[in-house]
Amino acid sequence: MCRRLGSARELRAGDVLNIPKRHVLLCAGWVDPQRAWIYFYETGGAPDYWKPGLKQAPIDSLLALGYQPLRYNGMAQEPVPDGKQPREVLTRAVKSTAAVITSPTIGEP
């Protein structure tokens, strides 16, 4: 169903970071061109706060927690010309709402 990516820096919007049988994050894009920080959607915790939220965190901190970068088999990809960056999927207004998580934990509400 999914394949593991060779590097977390290959993540694109729609890919996931997963800790098997524990928690999953949906990649929403990159905060910076160096791909040190990532935007992601997450839900978690008790049923009273299962609302998904946009967050941003250092990718290396997420990897240190055990998250694995995955891509669904058959995921569509828009062609990107050489030397160009993929189109953004998040608007500036949406990005401004992202909660900054400097020290993430697994399943953070």
CA atoms of 11 and 29, how far apart (whole Å): 8
> For all residues of the chain together, what is the average pLDDT?
85
- Write the pLDDT tens digit of every residue in 24-57: 999 999 999 899 999 999 886 666 667 778 999 9
- Write the pLDDT tens digit of every residue in 78-87: 667 777 766 6
Confidence of residue 100 (pLDDT cuts 50, 70, 90): confident
Confidence of residue 62 (pLDDT cuts 50, 70, 90): very high
Maximum mean pLDDT: which of 6-10, 74-78, 85-89, 91-95: 6-10
List the Cα angle 86/9/50 in 5-degree steps. 85
pTM of structure: 0.79
